[in-house]
Structure 1
Amino acid sequence: MAGEETLSRARGFSAWTTSRWLRVGVAVSLAVLTVLGVTGAWVLGRTASLSDDLVDAKSQAVTTAVRLESALLNQETGIRGYGLTGNPEFLTPYQQGLTEQAADTTRLSQMLEKDPEGLADLRRVRDAVEKWQARIARPIAAAPAGAPSPLAAERATEGKASFDQLRSALTHQQERLRSEQSQARDSLAATMRLRNWVFAAIAVVILALAGLVFEGLRRGITQPLSRLGADARAISEGDFNRPITPTGPADLRRLSGEIDVMRRRLVQELDVSEESRRLLDAQTADLQRSNSELEQFAYVASHDLQEPLRKVSSFTQLLQRRYAGQLDDKADQYIAFAVDGANRMQVLINDLLDFSRVGRVHHAHQSVDLDAVMEQTLSALSVSIEETGAQITSDDLPSLVADPTQMGMLWQNLIGNAVKFRRQDQQPHIHVTADHEGPLWRFTVTDDGIGIEPEYAEKVFVIFQRLHTKDVYSGSGIGLAMCKKIVEFHGGTIAVDPEYTGGTRITFTLADAPEGSEDAAAAVTDLDHAEPTT
């Protein structure tokens, strides 16, 4: 039964959590320290009380009793001298003794207020003093000066006996006061010894308690956490097959179990990740092969397809010039269709090549002054700007880490579109803004042109998507798709502002330095000192 009870108690303790152990430990420690503090305070108070009683009461009472005896001796000496000689000078110590007697008696009464035996001794002394003064001192002091007092000789024997009784009362009083003083001194010494033992015991208990707390923390928290940390470090270093042994309080054991479950899950995830990596490697190989084929297509499109297309375009143009007006109207119309189709096919191929090169050919990131890029863009579009009378304004544009060629393509497409898609009855007004928003710059290009309906806000960024026929507005429908690809390549986003109704507002963001650029960190650091790109 005793073994089962011990086992049950051990199981109960094993279910305690760290917080419960800490609460119990703190409660026990506070209780022990409270008991020790109360005991120490009681001992200190007892010592202070005895010390005050010895110094302020017992010792002062003995001293005052001795002074009272001295005052009475002065009275006896003065009265005896005055009675024998009649010299008034002998009354001076007598009068002084009376004053001191009254003061000492009053002081003793106050000191012995809580001591009945002491007050009884004081009354006996007072009675003896009163008897001696009534029979001897006052009658002799009242005798005429200048001659010996007959009363002094007459009552000499009675006076001696009366003063001896007074002296006996004083002696008894002083002996009892000295006895009480000695007892108080012994009690103080005993209490001080007890105080020393108590404080020594308090120190030992505090040290033992500190040792128990330290050992409990070491075994219950520090060691289990150290072991758990060692296991976790081993797992983090790659030893995923190392099991975690639960130790310590219940919550730490649960934590160890959860980490072990996480370890097993991590092992499973690593197996899945390894399989995914193999699949990804295969897909990467397929993607590389696809990119290689795309590059071959771009080469073919830029060389092999361009040559026959140029021949078709050249000969159809020759055919148009030589036989214009010699054939019927239908033939001239068909020839014009062929020339226009060949030219548009050549423009489409060139635009498609430019689109495919974004992020693949032009990726030389460096500090780019967008104000300088804007000036170059306006210079390139100067003919169409002069023809339309466009007014283009812009805020101060920042310097960014970007590809300068792509930045030129971005601004040329955006400004060119704003000039192209104008209202026919008015001059276009275009304004460019730039605002810093955290790590990004937000740019807007706002015009007062024909605008874009909200339902086409996403469609305009799809390659070759046109909202108007080529007869109304020229172009291949690749401009905004090119802008989107450039912005996303630089870590930003681009969209049409659907809330703006006075024309078209294109808003896009660019980072100070796109992630992955080779010299992004250095360029951001030296951005303020970089020379503008020209």
Structure 2
Amino acid sequence: MFQLTLKRKIFLGFGLIFLLLFANVLAVYFGSNRMSSEIGRMSAVASVNATVLGLDRDIQELRLRVDRFVQSGRESQSSAAAEIFDRLRVKIEDTKKDHNDPEMDNLFDQISLRLKEYSSHFESVISERKLRQDLVYLQLPGLAKGIQSQFAALSDTLETDSFSEQARISLARSQSSFSETEKYLLRYFENPDGELVEFAIESIATTVSHLESSEIPEERIKSLVDSIANYERVGMRAVQATRSYLFLRNVLIAGEESEVSYYSSKLRSRAADRKHLIASQLEATSSHVRTISWVIAFTAFVMSVLIATRLAILIVKPISDLTATFETLSSGCVLTAVPGSDRCDEIGKMATAARIFSDQNRRTRELLAESQKLGSELHKKAALLEATNEELDGFAYVASHDLRSPLRGIKHLAQWIEEDMGGNLSSQGSVYLDNLKKRVSKLEVLLEDLLNFSRVGRINPPKEMVDVATLLENIVSMVDNPNGVKIEWDPNLPVFKTIRPPLEQVFMNLIGNAVKHNDKLENGKVAISCEQEGDRYRFSVRDNGPGISSSNFERIFQMYQRVGSRTVEGSGMGLAIVKKQVELFGGTVKVESAEDCGASFHFTWPVEPDEFSADRETRQSHFAASCEVTV
């Protein structure tokens, strides 16, 4: 009979839960899409509402600008109104593209049409106002002034020509009637009233009748009568312009303002209705999605509890037994029987693994005992090696130090023999004596290098500010340079705080080797440079000498190892001391070279070295390694 394993039971349970959760996700997904669509519609409506409010504000501002222009006649107000007309047209066209509501489109069309009429009437108001201003404030005053001048000239003529008193009285009455005409017209332009126009016309007729009934010859009053007739004509035109202007302002403009305000109000109302409708749809969709999500989530929760309870019954007790078993095994114990070994599912496999683990514990105990035994032996050998290294370190120091006195004695003895024997020595004896002194001198150099090597790390001098350029100047003055090899360095070498003697010894040995082994004689060159790499300086010493074969790169840093020409004197300790000093300060040294291509030595040095404390084990390991190579 087919049995489900624990793995399959767990997968089946989680599969059911997953299906419920997936159904919940689908419901939320489609609901979210619907809500997103409604929110998008609401956003579009909100955008249209904002535009509608902007249109309404622009319309109110337009009315304000038009009213201000009507009151003041300022061109700035008419220009601002024209800009608002244009802005409203553009906004309406743009807004119509952003929605698909036919009713709102119709309202926008009505507003656009009304605005077009409004703009046309406003332009008529502007032109009529300009015409009225020209007639009332320019032409009429000019004509009146000319007529008054003509009256004055005619009066002077009557005085000169000795006309009768009656003629002068008629002229004065005519002039007075004309002045009344001016007053009536001015009062009309200030406060339009039809009676004032009639009074003005009657005054003009009276003015003309007084002139015509006087005894003044017709040829003398003809020009004045014509001027008065022209004044009447221009005055009537001004009256007509005023009436037209008032009609446009008080009837047409006011009517268009009312129409635009009416449609704008309807547009706001329609936009608000759409917003409320979409908001209610969004709320309904949200409630629907929420209900479905809660139902599915509750069902998933109940299923999860049932599945978890069933799996706990099937798994928890065996797992608890196996946990206790593994805890026992983890303490190192060995079990004879493991619970659950008879099962065929994963629990049975875990029980089998526990039994294997028990067997491994037994084997591990045996290996641990053997390992402890080997560890004890290794510890003893390490202690023996440490003691041997200490003896080697002490021997190197004592040998290099104490052998110097016997060598000096041998050297002095050879000098005394040479001084005492003088010319009594045979030529062969002199050769032997010279060879003896040379061998002693060479041995002294070897012992001096060995002593220097053994001193590395023994002393702890204080740190000080070191100018590398000055340091190199001192070294160059001390280096034996019989061939005049040119030594130069970067002018921007660092000045930093470090321990001077080790750095000085490293540069001394590298520069000395570069000069000593250079085969270019006076054409020889040595160059020193520096670059900063993080918390370390990278110094380079380059020469154009014979170079070094890559097979000797490791050998040249070992004690008493020499490469190159045998005619060049040396102990073979210089680069070994360089390597030991550099590594003691945590740096590295390497060489780049090829035969006949010169050599470049690079070493790193800390920018701010820690307190010098090379422990004894480090010194012993360096010395022991070098001694092993030498042996």
Aligned equivalents of 2:391, 2:447: Cα separation in 1: 17
- Change in Cα spacing, 1:465 to 1:256, as seen in structure 2 (3 Å) is same
More helix by share: 2
The AA in structure 1 aligned to 2:562 is R
* Partner residue in 1 for 2:591: 496
* Partner residue in 2 for 1:333: 431
Matched, 1:292 2:385: no
| Alignment counterpart, residue 26 of structure 1, candidates 10, 14, 33 | 14
- Change in Cα spacing, 1:407 to 1:482, as seen in structure 2 (3 Å) is same
The AA in structure 2 aligned to 1:451 is G
1:292-331 alignment runs, 5 A limit: 292-331=390-429
Task: Check whether the contact 2:463–2:498 (CA below 8 A) recurs between aligned residues.
Answer: yes
Matched, 1:343 2:441: yes
Task: Check whether the contact 1:444–1:505 (CA below 8 A) recurs between aligned residues.
Answer: yes
Matched, 1:353 2:451: yes
* Partner residue in 2 for 1:119: none
- Change in Cα spacing, 1:201 to 1:488, as seen in structure 2 (3 Å) is closer
Gaps of 5+ in 2: 30-290, 616-631
* Partner residue in 2 for 1:207: 301
Residue-by-residue CA offset, 1:197-240 (whole Å, 9 max, x unaligned): 9999756533323434666898969x969x979979996xxx55
| Alignment counterpart, residue 5 of structure 2, candidates 6, 9, 13 | 13
1:41-440 alignment runs, 5 A limit: 205-212=299-306, 239=331, 253=350, 270-359=368-457, 361-362=458-459, 364=460, 372=467, 375-384=470-479, 388=484, 390-394=486-490, 404-435=500-531
| Alignment counterpart, residue 463 of structure 1, candidates 539, 559, 566 | 559
Task: Check whether the contact 2:561–2:572 (CA below 8 A) recurs between aligned residues.
Answer: yes
Task: Check whether the contact 2:587–2:606 (CA below 8 A) recurs between aligned residues.
Answer: yes
Q: Secondary structure at the match of 2:521?
A: coil
Percent identity of paired positions between Structure 1 and Structure 2: 25
Residue-by-residue CA offset, 1:79-116 (whole Å, 9 max, x unaligned): xxxxxxxxxxxxxxxxxxxxxxxxxxxxxxxxxxxxxx
* Superposed displacement of residue 40, structure 1: 12
TM-score (norm 1): 0.51
* Partner residue in 1 for 2:53: none
* Superposed displacement of residue 478, structure 1: 0.9
Q: Secondary structure at the match of 1:497?
A: strand
Gaps of 5+ in 1: 42-196, 521-534
Q: Secondary structure at the match of 2:5?
A: helix
The AA in structure 2 aligned to 1:28 is L
* Superposed displacement of residue 439, structure 1: 7.5
Aligned equivalents of 1:229, 1:513: Cα separation in 2: 57
Aligned equivalents of 2:492, 2:357: Cα separation in 1: 55
Task: Check whether the contact 1:373–1:407 (CA below 8 A) recurs between aligned residues.
Answer: no
- Change in Cα spacing, 1:487 to 1:34, as seen in structure 2 (3 Å) is closer
- Change in Cα spacing, 1:303 to 1:518, as seen in structure 2 (3 Å) is closer
Q: Secondary structure at the match of 2:601?
A: strand
* Superposed displacement of residue 337, structure 1: 0.8
Aligned equivalents of 1:265, 1:457: Cα separation in 2: 49
Task: Check whether the contact 1:365–1:402 (CA below 8 A) recurs between aligned residues.
Answer: no
* Superposed displacement of residue 403, structure 1: 6.2
The AA in structure 1 aligned to 2:299 is V
The AA in structure 1 aligned to 2:601 is I
Task: Check whether the contact 1:393–1:431 (CA below 8 A) recurs between aligned residues.
Answer: yes
Aligned equivalents of 1:392, 1:512: Cα separation in 2: 22
The AA in structure 2 aligned to 1:354 is N
Task: Check whether the contact 2:24–2:296 (CA below 8 A) recurs between aligned residues.
Answer: yes
* Superposed displacement of residue 372, structure 1: 3.2
The AA in structure 1 aligned to 2:581 is I
* Partner residue in 2 for 1:126: none
Aligned equivalents of 1:255, 1:442: Cα separation in 2: 61
* Superposed displacement of residue 347, structure 1: 1.4
Pairwise CA RMSD of aligned residues? 5.3
* Superposed displacement of residue 266, structure 1: 6.5
- Change in Cα spacing, 1:349 to 1:265, as seen in structure 2 (3 Å) is farther
Aligned equivalents of 2:577, 2:328: Cα separation in 1: 49
* Superposed displacement of residue 513, structure 1: 8.3
Aligned equivalents of 1:352, 1:504: Cα separation in 2: 25
- Change in Cα spacing, 1:254 to 1:242, as seen in structure 2 (3 Å) is closer
The AA in structure 1 aligned to 2:18 is L
* Superposed displacement of residue 260, structure 1: 7.8
TM-score (norm 2): 0.44
Residue-by-residue CA offset, 1:245-299 (whole Å, 9 max, x unaligned): 9999679949976988987786566445423431222112212321332244235
The AA in structure 1 aligned to 2:525 is H
Q: Secondary structure at the match of 1:280?
A: helix
The AA in structure 2 aligned to 1:479 is G
Aligned equivalents of 2:372, 2:609: Cα separation in 1: 30
Aligned equivalents of 1:211, 1:431: Cα separation in 2: 81
Aligned equivalents of 1:246, 1:515: Cα separation in 2: 61
Q: Secondary structure at the match of 2:597?
A: coil
* Superposed displacement of residue 341, structure 1: 1.0
The AA in structure 1 aligned to 2:447 is I
Task: Check whether the contact 1:324–1:332 (CA below 8 A) recurs between aligned residues.
Answer: no
Task: Check whether the contact 1:228–1:256 (CA below 8 A) recurs between aligned residues.
Answer: no
Residue-by-residue CA offset, 1:429-488 (whole Å, 9 max, x unaligned): 222344456776644321112322334333322221223566x32221111122223334
Q: How many residues align?
A: 346
Aligned equivalents of 2:5, 2:523: Cα separation in 1: 88
Aligned equivalents of 1:433, 1:229: Cα separation in 2: 69
* Superposed displacement of residue 386, structure 1: 6.8
Q: Secondary structure at the match of 2:454?
A: helix
